[in-house]
Structure 1
Amino acid sequence: MQRYQLRNALRAVLAILTALALSACGTIGMMGSGPGAEGAPEWVNQGTGLARDGERRLFQGVGQASGMEDRSLQVETADKRARGKLARTLSGYLEGVGRDHHARAGEGGATEAEASRSMEEVAERSLGEARITERWRDPETDTVHARAELTLDKVIATAARVEDLEPALRDHLRRRGEGLFDRSREEDEE
Structure 2
Amino acid sequence: MFRPVYRFTLVLIVMGLSACSSNSPTIESNMGVKGAPDWVNEGTQSVDSVDGRFIYGVASAPSMNDESLQTATADNRARAEVAKVVSTYVDSTMSDYTAATGDTSSNSIENSINSATQTVLNGAKIKGRWKDKNTGNVYSFAEMDMKALDDAISTAGKLSDSFKAYYSENASANFDRFIKDTEE
**TM-score, normalization by structure 1:** 0.79
- Distance of aligned partners of 1:54 and 1:42 in 2 relative to their CA distance in 1, 3 Å threshold: farther
| Structure 2 Cα separation of the partners of residues 65 and 103 of structure 1 | 40
Unpaired segments ≥5 residues, structure 2: 1-11, 20-24
Tell me, what secondary structure is at the counterpart of 1:113? Answer: helix
CA RMSD of aligned residues (A): 2.0
Match for 1:93: what amino acid? Y
Gaps of 5+ in 1: 1-22
The match for 2:171 is 177
1:137 aligned partner, one-letter code = K
Aligned residue-pair number: 166
8 Å contact kept, 2:63–2:138: no
Aligned pair partner of 1:31 in 4, 27, 30: 27
Following superposition, which runs of at least 4 residues in structure 1 exceed 4 angstroms of deviation?
A: 23-29
Q: 1:63 aligns with which of 52, 59, 62?
A: 59
Matched residue type, 1:101? Y
Secondary structure in 1 matching 2:64: coil
**C-alpha distance in structure 2 between counterparts of 1:151 and 1:171, whole Å:** 20
The correspondence of residues 12-51 of structure 1 with structure 2, limited to 5 A, is 23=12, 30-33=26-29, 35-51=31-47
The equivalences for 1:148-187 within 5 A come to 148-187=142-181
User: Scaled by the length of structure 2, what TM-score is found?
Assistant: 0.81
Q: Say which is worse superposed, 142-151 or 165-174, in terms of deviation.
A: 165-174
- Cα–Cα, structure 1 residues 72 and 84, in superposed 2: closer, same or farther, change >3 Å? same
Q: Which AA in structure 1 matches 2:34?
A: E
Q: What CA distance in whole angstroms lies between the structure 2 residues aligned with 1:34 and 1:155?
A: 28
Q: CA deviation at 1:52?
A: 3.0
Which residue number in structure 1 is paired with residue 98 of structure 2? Answer: 102
CA contact (8 A) 1:63 1:78 kept: yes
SS of the equivalent of 1:60 reads strand
Instruction: Give per-residue Cα distances to partners, 1:68-87, cap 9 Å, x unaligned.
Output: 02111110100011111111
Percent of aligned positions with the same letter in both sequences?
A: 29
Q: Is it true that 1:73 corresponds to 2:69 in the alignment? A: yes
The residue that corresponds to 1:133 in the other structure is 127
1:130 Cα deviation from its structure 2 partner: 1.0
